[in-house]
Amino acid sequence: MQCNFKKRTCVDKKNKTKKTTPDSLPSSPFCFNQKKKKRSNPSTMAAVTPPKPSFSTTPTPFHHHRTTFLPRFTLPISSNPKKRHPFLRISNVISTTTTTNIPPSPEPFISRYSPDQPRKGSDVLVEALEREGVTDVFAYPGGASMEIHQALTRSHTIRNVLPRHEQGGVFAAEGYARASGRPGVCIATSGPGATNLVSGLADAMLDSIPIVAITGQVPRRMIGTDAFQETPIVEVTRSITKHNYLVLDVEDIPRIVREAFYLASSGRPGPVLIDVPKDIQQQLVVPKWDEPMSLSGYLSRLPKPPNDSHLEQIIRLISESKKPVLYVGGGCLDSSDELRRFVELTGIPVASTLMGLGSYPASDDLCLQMLGMHGTVYANYAVDKSDLLLAFGVRFDDRVTGKLEAFASRAKIVHIDIDSAEIGKNKQPHVSICGDIKIALKGLNKILDEKREIANLDFSNWRKELDEQKLNHPLGFKTFGDAIPPQYAIQVLDELTGGNAIISTGVGQHQMWAAQFYKYNRPRQWLTSGGLGAMGFGLPAAIGAAVARPDAVVVDIDGDGSFMMNVQELATIRVENLPVKILLLNNQHLGMVVQWEDRFYKANRAHTYLGNPSKESEIFPNMLKFAEACDIPAARVSQVGDLRAAIQKMLDTPGPYLLDVIVPHQEHVLPMIPAGGGFMDVITEGDGRTKY
C-alpha cells in the first residue's frame, strides 16, 4: 500500500482501492461550519491530538471494485481497533488511548441470551436499547431495517408505536422526550425513510431535545454505489445532529448505543443518529457489554461547576440594581424548583421564552408570561426598562430580541448557559457563566440564604410599575358576533382542564395563542416546535406525550394547515387507542401568513387559502371525515354559545377525540413586534378587517 500524506490518500495496489480522508477537522467543538458560529457538537470534541494513523497492507474484508469507496462517508466511521481497519480509524469522535468508564447499573440486566451465545447484530442493537431503559420506540419498517424490526418482536420490554410516516415517528419521539425528559427513540429504513427524519432531527437540534434516531443502511459493500434506497444520511444530517455514527463493525454496537444516549442527554441535549448497514444487522456476534465509552475529549469539555466568585458577582449586581428581570428559556425546564426558590429569595419578576413556558408558574404574580415578537406588552416593557437582565438558559433568539441594539439596551446582562457557543453569539453579556443552570441556581440560592441581610433586596417599586403595565395592557381579543374567537377556545380549555393538560401544537397563529392563553404552571406541559417552526408537529408530538405520560390529559391544539401535514397519524392514535384530544382551530387559511399579508402586503392573498375556491361557503376539507375514516369520535362547533359544552364533551369522551372549532380568519395574534423591530414598534390593535 502506498500512502500520499500530503493529499492524505491511500492506494492499495493489490485491491486497487483508494481511500481519502479530509485534510483537517474543525477545531472548534460542535462546529462543522467554521464560518458560522453555532452550537457545540461532540463530533470534534475529542479532537485533542489524534493518534497518528497506522497503515497496514491487510485489505479490508468488504472492499468494492469501485475506486471511490465511501466518498461521502469519510466521517463518521466507527470501527474496532482490535479487529479491523487499523489504517482507517476515522470517527466523528476521534479515538484516543483514553477511555471513560461509566458506573454499572445498580440492578444487573437480565439478558434473553446466555453470555457466550452468538446473536444477530440487530438483536444486539435491541438489547442495547433495553439496557438504556428504553421501553417505547417509534419505528417504521423498510428493507434496510427489517432485521431491527424482527429483533423488536423478540423483545419483551420494548413496545413499538407504529407511525404512519417517518416524520410522524421522529416528531413522536420528540414529543416523548419533551414530555418525559428522557431520550426518545425513532427508527427508519434507508434512503427516503432516513431522509424523512430530517425535519425532526433539525427541530430537536434547534430546541435541544434528546432523541436517538436509528436508520437502516444498505450493506457495507454497496455503500457509495448509489444502490437502491441508499442515501448518505450521516452526511445529510451532520449539521443537524449533535453527533452521528455509521456502524462498520458489529462489535461496536454496544459502545455506540451507550455513547449515543449519553451524548443525547448530557451537556446541551440534542439528537444523535446511528446508521446501521443491513449486513451488520445480520452478522452474528457475541457482544461485549463492558466496552468503555470513548468520549474523553467530549467529557473534558463539558462545563465545570461555576466559580463561587462569579456567583457572588451576580448577587452583587442584583443588590445594586433597581429594575432587574429574569429572562428564562428552555434550559431552565429541569431547574424549575431552583428557579422558583431564586425568585422567592429575590422577588425578581420572570419573563419566559416560548421554549421556557412552564419553568416558572404562569399563575404566579411575578410571572410576566412570554416575551418576544408575540409576547405580552408588560414582559417586553420590563426587558426594555430593566437595568439588569438575568438571561438563564436562553440563546437570545431573533424572535425574542428583535433589533439587537435596542434589546435590553439599558441593562447590564448576565448570561448563564451550558453551551459556550451561545455566550456572546448574539448579545454580548457583561457577566457570563458557561455551566449547568441547575447547579448555578443552587449556588446562587445558597449565597442568598447565607447573606440575606447583606443583599437586602427590595424591588417593590419596580413590581408596582410592572403591575400597572399589566392593568393597562392585558392580553385580550376581539369578538366576531356569534363566531368563536380562537383565544376564547383556549381559555375555556384552560379552565376545564384546570391548567393541568399537556399541550402540543403545530406552528402558526394557534401556536402563539396557545402560548398566550393557556397557563403553564409546570415544566414539560408545553410541547411545540420553537426554533424550526415545523408545521405538522402537533399531532405526532401528542402521540409521543401520550405514550410517555399515559396518566396525563394530552391535547393537541392545532391549526388546519399544520394538522393536514401529518393527518395520517390519526390511524396511529386509533390503533394504539391513545387518549389524544385534538382541538382544531380551523380558519381555512394559513393564518400567520395571512396576518403578515394583511399587515405588510395590502391583504393580497398569495396561496394562503386552504379551502375549495369554488365552494367558499363550505368547510373544506371535512376534517370530521378524516376522523371517521380512522374510527375516531369527532364533532364540529361554530357558535360561541356551544363551545364550552363541546370542549367538555371532548374531554369526557374516553379515548381519542377531534373537535373541529370553526374560527374567523380575520383575527390577528397580538401584541406583535415586527421582525427586526424593537419594543417601541409594538402593535397592539387591528385585525384582518382593517386596511393597512
Question: CB–CB of 266/229 below 8 Å?
Answer: no
Q: Which of 150, 229, 282, 313 is catalytic?
A: 229
Cβ within 8 Å of residue 149, ≥6 positions away: 139, 141, 160, 187
State the Cα angle at 19 between 292 and 30, rounded to 5°. Answer: 50
Cβ within 8 Å of residue 132, ≥6 positions away: 183, 257, 258, 261
Distance in angstroms (rounded) separating the CA atoms of residues 514 and 262: 33
Q: Which of 117, 228, 450, 616 is catalytic?
A: 228
The pLDDT of residue 255 is above 70? yes
Please state the rounded mean pLDDT for residues 328-350. 97
The predicted pLDDT at position 370 comes to 98
Residue 260 has phi, psi (to 5 degrees) of: -60, -45
Cβ within 8 Å of residue 284, ≥6 positions away: 118, 119, 120, 121
Distance in angstroms (rounded) separating the CA atoms of residues 271 and 241: 5
Please state the rounded mean pLDDT for residues 217-223. 97
Instruction: Please count the other Cβ atoms lying within 10 Å of the Cβ belonging to residue 64.
Output: 17
Distance in angstroms (rounded) separating the CA atoms of residues 299 and 279: 32
The predicted pLDDT at position 217 comes to 98
Confidence of residue 153 (pLDDT cuts 50, 70, 90): very high
Distance in angstroms (rounded) separating the CA atoms of residues 293 and 106: 18
Please state the rounded mean pLDDT for residues 476-487. 94
Distance in angstroms (rounded) separating the CA atoms of residues 39 and 425: 10
Instruction: Give the three cell numbers for residue 459.
Output: 424591588
Q: Which of 53-67, 146-160, 529-543, 639-653 has the lowest mean pLDDT?
A: 53-67
Q: Which residue spans within 488-529 are E strands per DSSP?
A: 502-505, 526-527
Distance in angstroms (rounded) separating the CA atoms of residues 137 and 169: 9
Q: Which of 3-12, 454-463, 467-476 has the lowest mean pLDDT?
A: 3-12
Instruction: Give the three cell numbers for residue 429.
Output: 453579556
Question: CB–CB of 517/497 below 8 Å?
Answer: no
Classify 630 as helix, strand or coil. coil
Confidence of residue 214 (pLDDT cuts 50, 70, 90): very high
Question: CB–CB of 440/432 below 8 Å?
Answer: no
Question: CB–CB of 325/390 below 8 Å?
Answer: yes
Active site residue 229: yes
Instruction: Please count the other Cβ atoms lying within 10 Å of the Cβ belonging to residue 457.
Output: 17
Please state the rounded mean pLDDT for residues 62-68. 36
Residues 102-129: pLDDT tens digits?
A: 555 567 899 999 999 999 999 999 999 9
Q: Which of 19-23, 553-557, 643-647 has the lowest mean pLDDT?
A: 19-23
CA-nearest of 487, 454, 279, 469 to 377 is 469
Q: Which residue spans within 93-237 are E strands per DSSP?
A: 119-120, 136-139, 159-160, 184-188, 211-217
Confidence of residue 691 (pLDDT cuts 50, 70, 90): confident
Confidence of residue 28 (pLDDT cuts 50, 70, 90): very low
Q: Which of 127, 166, 259, 569 is catalytic?
A: 166
Check residue 6 and report its DSSP letter: T
The predicted pLDDT at position 454 comes to 62
Please state the rounded mean pLDDT for residues 661-667. 96
Mean pLDDT of the chain: 88
Distance in angstroms (rounded) separating the CA atoms of residues 501 and 514: 12
The predicted pLDDT at position 206 comes to 98
Please state the rounded mean pLDDT for residues 626-632. 98
Distance in angstroms (rounded) separating the CA atoms of residues 569 and 549: 18
Instruction: Please count the other Cβ atoms lying within 10 Å of the Cβ belonging to residue 599.
Output: 17
Classify 555 as helix, strand or coil. strand
The predicted pLDDT at position 168 comes to 98
More confident residue, 75 or 306: 306
Q: Which residue spans within 528-598 are E strands per DSSP?
A: 554-559, 580-586
Distance in angstroms (rounded) separating the CA atoms of residues 343 and 504: 27
Active site residue 228: yes
Residues 37-62: pLDDT tens digits?
A: 344 444 433 333 333 333 333 333 33
Distance in angstroms (rounded) separating the CA atoms of residues 588 and 203: 26
Cell 393541568, located at residue: 500
Share of the chain above pLDDT 90, in %: 82
Question: CB–CB of 459/347 below 8 Å?
Answer: yes
Please state the rounded mean pLDDT for residues 249-263. 98
The predicted pLDDT at position 366 comes to 98
Q: Which of 19, 120, 278, 438 is catalytic?
A: 278
Q: Is 396 exposed, middle or buried (0-12, 13-18, 19+ CB in 10 A)?
A: buried
pTM: 0.85
Please state the rounded mean pLDDT for residues 284-302. 95
Distance in angstroms (rounded) separating the CA atoms of residues 525 and 503: 6
Q: Which of 222, 293, 592, 672 is catalytic?
A: 592
The predicted pLDDT at position 196 comes to 98
Question: CB–CB of 555/504 below 8 Å?
Answer: yes
Residue 432 has phi, psi (to 5 degrees) of: -135, 145
The predicted pLDDT at position 106 comes to 60
Confidence of residue 8 (pLDDT cuts 50, 70, 90): very low
Max alpha carbon distance in the chain (Å)?
Answer: 83
- Helix axis angle for 166-180 and 569-576, nearest 10°, is 60
Share of the chain above pLDDT 70, in %: 84
Check residue 362 and report its DSSP letter: T
Confidence of residue 265 (pLDDT cuts 50, 70, 90): very high
Instruction: Please count the other Cβ atoms lying within 10 Å of the Cβ belonging to residue 477.
Output: 19
Confidence of residue 452 (pLDDT cuts 50, 70, 90): confident
Distance in angstroms (rounded) separating the CA atoms of residues 419 and 211: 18
Tally of CA atoms within 13 A in the half-sphere of 686 that contains its CB: 14
Check residue 208 and give left, alpha or beta (phi > 0: left; psi -120 to 50: alpha). Answer: left
Q: Which residue spans within 387-429 are E strands per DSSP?
A: 388-392, 412-417
DSSP codes joined into one string, 178-216: HHHSSPEEEEE-STHHHHTTHHHHHHHHHHT--EEEEEE
Length reported for the chain: 692
Cβ within 8 Å of residue 600, ≥6 positions away: 674, 692
The pLDDT of residue 32 is above 70? no
Active site residue 618: no
* Helix, strand, coil content of the chain in percent (nearest 5): 35, 15, 50
